Chain A
């Protein structure tokens, strides 16, 4: 069966510090990978998605970047965090070969920038 792991679960960082959130998927190959941010426990905003190694699409201009160094690894990064980067970050995947494929989410990483 497929699983998705996301870490760290909780992170408190000072303004201006770097960030690295990691996500890995097991039990499948060549998944589509996504990073979402959820603010104030409500709607989801798509930040980045990837259809393959080294292929990253950004949905909104921001202080964050994403990378996919391996097929099932997706990393969200920042060189200098802003207060506005605080939120709940969710990694997700779905099957590239299925158009109507549902998303499978990790447990999330809660980032607080102080």
Chain B
């Protein structure tokens, strides 16, 4: 069975500091991994995805994520956080299960960036 874990409910960083939001996954076969962001009372927005190839994936708004197969992780990173990055972040994995491809989301990590 496929699953996604986001071990931190909340991450606090100061503006200008680097940020990391952690994600680990479990899936049969090659994983397709995603990060989404949600602002209050809005739908989720796609940030980036890993399919194959380079382990470092670059996405929207200066975010990037590093795929680590041995650690089954896909952590989201940004070199310099902005106050406007404060939001709820979801990691997701898309894999082949009975009935077809399904996308499973983690529980979400709330990021607070302090000025």
Contacts and interface: CB of A to CB of B under 8 A. Distances in A.
Contacts of B106: 43
A31 interface: no
A91 to B, nearest CB: 8
Nearest to B99: A57
Given A41-B88, A99-B32, A100-B94, A105 B105 contact: no
Contacts of B71: none
A105 B44 CA distance: 6
Interface residues of A, number: 22
A41 B34 CA distance: 19
Contacts of A107: 42-43
A44 B90 contact: yes
Interface stretch (B11-19, B45-53, B77-85): B45-53
Contact of A103 (B42, B46, B107): B46
Contacts of B34: 102-103
Contact of B41 (A6, A102, A103, A110): A110
B101 interface: yes
A106 B43 contact: yes
B103 interface: yes
Interface of A: 6, 41-44, 46, 49, 51, 57, 88, 90, 92, 99-100, 102-108, 110
Interface of B: 32, 34, 36, 41-46, 49, 51, 88, 90, 92, 94, 99-108
Given A43-B106, A43-B108, A99-B101, 10 more contacts: A41-B88, A44-B105, A100-B49, A102-B34, A102-B46, A103-B44, A103-B46, A104-B46, A105-B43, A108-B43
